[in-house]
Amino acid sequence: MPFERITDRESIKTDLLGWCETVTEVTNPRQITDFLRSLRAVREFKRQPIPDAVVQDILEVARWSGSASNRQFAQIIVVRKPDSLQALAGAGGYAGHLRGAALAMILVMPGEWAEGETFDEGRLAERIMLAAAAHGLGASIGWFSPEGRPKARDILGVPGPKVVRTAISMGYPARAPRREKRKPLNDLVFEERYPS
């Protein structure tokens, strides 16, 4: 598979330039950008477990996600038990899709620096979803509502003031994801100055 070599951990750790060259060697840039652009939220899953080696590989990508000052604020709880997924799906918010997922990765943030932690949380969630997609898995973010967050913490045994806000449901997709539209680039990108 095309991404086999670039997930080699030793080359990532020891030879970053070599890693960049390897990426363009095994594939062309458009294959990678097409892959990045194709990421969509998947909320319906097959009843099929995810192999441990795949979960491990996704978690390795998560571990290498950049964070403010490289402090790695985030911790991750992997939830597989159907009862726990069911309870989390009902905790409050928009995470009902956890109910049918093969597993969930729940992000636990320290709750000490909202701005920085929230940025890291978004980066991490996106990387987890991309790593899952590289393995043919679908995933979706689900946010617990402010009222749902303490309930999610209780279900998982997470003490305050830590924050449990983001859940990522994951599994093999049951059907093709919805094709939601995007604004045209002209509405989003400007040259040099904001238009008056």
Ligand X SMILES: Cc1cc2nc3c(=O)[nH]c(=O)nc-3n(C[C@H](O)[C@H](O)[C@H](O)COP(=O)(O)O)c2cc1C
Chain contacts with ligand X (rule: CB under 6 A): 40-41, 43, 93-95, 97, 140-143, 177-178, 180
- In the complex, minimum distance from the CB of residue 104 to ligand X, in angstroms, rounded to a whole number: 12
Task: Give CA–CA dist 61/7, Å, rounded.
Answer: 9
Residue nearest to ligand X as judged by C-beta position: 94
CB closer to ligand X out of 7 and 67? 67
- In the complex, minimum distance from the CB of residue 158 to ligand X, in angstroms, rounded to a whole number: 18
Q: Residues 6 or more apart from 143 whose CB is under 8 A from it?
A: 93, 94, 95, 165, 166, 167
- DSSP three-state, residue 38: coil
- In the complex, minimum distance from the CB of residue 168 to ligand X, in angstroms, rounded to a whole number: 10
CB closer to ligand X out of 64 and 94? 94
CB closer to ligand X out of 81 and 178? 178
**Cβ pair 4, 57 in contact under 8 A:** no
- DSSP three-state, residue 125: helix
CB closer to ligand X out of 178 and 193? 178
User: Which strands make up the sheet holding 138-143, listed edge to edge?
Assistant: 75-79, 103-109, 163-171, 138-143
- In the complex, minimum distance from the CB of residue 52 to ligand X, in angstroms, rounded to a whole number: 26
